[in-house]
Amino acid sequence: MQTPLSSSVTPKTHVIPQKKNSHQISSLSLNDIDAVVALSQLYFPRSSESTVDQLRKSMLDLYFENGALLPNVSPIVSRSANGSVSGFLGVVSKTFRYQNKEVVLANCHHLMATEEARNHLIPMRLLQHFIKGPQDVSFSDGSSESTRLLWKRLDGEVVACESIYYKIPLRPLSFVAGFLLKSHQNWMAGSIRTIANGTDTIASKARLALFHRKDAGIETVPLTSDVMCALMKKLRPYYRLFPQHTPHEIDRLIRILEEETRYGKLQKVVLLDHQKEAFGWFIYYAQKGGICEIIQAVCLPGKETELFRSLTRHAYDAGGVELSGRLMNSQFQTPFTKQSISLPGRMWTLMKSDNVELKHTIQSGKAFITRLEGDLWVL
* Domain limits, the chain: 7-161, 165-170+211-346
- Domain 7-161 identical in fold to domain 165-170+211-346: yes
pTM reported for the whole predicted model: 0.85
Give the burial class of 199: count Cβ atoms within 10 A of its Cβ; 0-12 exposed, 13-18 middle, 19 or more buried.
Answer: middle
Q: List phi, psi (to 5°) of 244.
A: -100, 75
Element (H, E) at 316: helix 304-317
CA angle, residues 263, 225, 363, in degrees to nearest 5: 70
- Rounded to whole angstroms, the Cα distance separating 274 from 262 reads 36
Element (H, E) at 66: none
- Rounded to whole angstroms, the Cα distance separating 30 from 85 reads 12
DSSP letter string, 196-242: HHHHHHHHHHTT--SS----TT-EEEE--HHHHHHHHHHHGGG-SEE
- Check pLDDT > 70 for residue 357: yes
> Left if phi > 0, otherwise alpha if psi is -120 to 50, otherwise beta: which for 347?
beta
- Rounded to whole angstroms, the Cα distance separating 155 from 299 reads 34
pLDDT digits (tens, 9 = 90+) for 28-56: 999 999 999 999 999 887 887 888 999 99
pLDDT digits (tens, 9 = 90+) for 322-331: 999 999 999 9
Q: Which fold has domain 165-170+211-346?
A: Aminopeptidase (3.40.630)
pLDDT digits (tens, 9 = 90+) for 163-216: 999 999 998 877 666 555 555 555 444 544 454 455 555 455 544 455 555 666
Element (H, E) at 26: strand 24-27
Class of domain 7-161: alpha beta
151, 11 Cβ separation under 8 angstroms:
no
